[in-house]
Amino acid sequence: MLIKIKCPKCGIEGSLSLTESGYQGPYRCWKCRELFTIKIDNNELKSCEPLSQEEFEKQQEIEALKAKFKQS
Ligand SMILES: [Zn+2]
């Protein structure tokens, strides 16, 4: 499933491929490189909040840690 996401900053449309009908996490605009936290429910974009680089990295760290714990 390909979800269309319109960047609130530059207005360009990007897409995100999903394996499930819901998603909550970071999205980066391919054009202006701005980061957002998006929420998709039932293949529909429900919210799009600006995300700072710092916050993004924090989230990535958390995800990396989660993956580590899953493996062991
Ligand atoms: Zn953009």
Question: What pLDDT is stored for residue 5 in this prediction?
Answer: 94
Q: Under 8 Å CB-to-CB from 30, ≥6 apart: which residues?
A: 12, 14
**pLDDT for the residue 71:** 73
Cα 6 to ligand 1 centroid, rounded to whole Å: 8
Q: Provide mean pLDDT across the span 43-48.
A: 92
* Residue range 8-43, pLDDT digits in tens: 999 999 999 999 989 999 999 999 999 999 999 998
Total count of residues recorded for the chain: 72
The predicted pLDDT at position 1 comes to 86
Instruction: Please give the distance, rounded to the nearest whole angstrom, from the Cα atom of residue 24 to the centre of ligand 1.
Output: 18
Is the distance from CB of 6 to CB of 36 less than 8 angstroms? Answer: no
The β-bridge relationship of strands 35-41 and 23-28 is antiparallel
- The answer on pLDDT for 72 being more than 90 is no
Residues forming a β-bridge with 13: 6
Mean pLDDT (the chain, rounded): 92
Q: Residue 26: name the closest of 18, 36, 15, 16 by CA.
A: 36
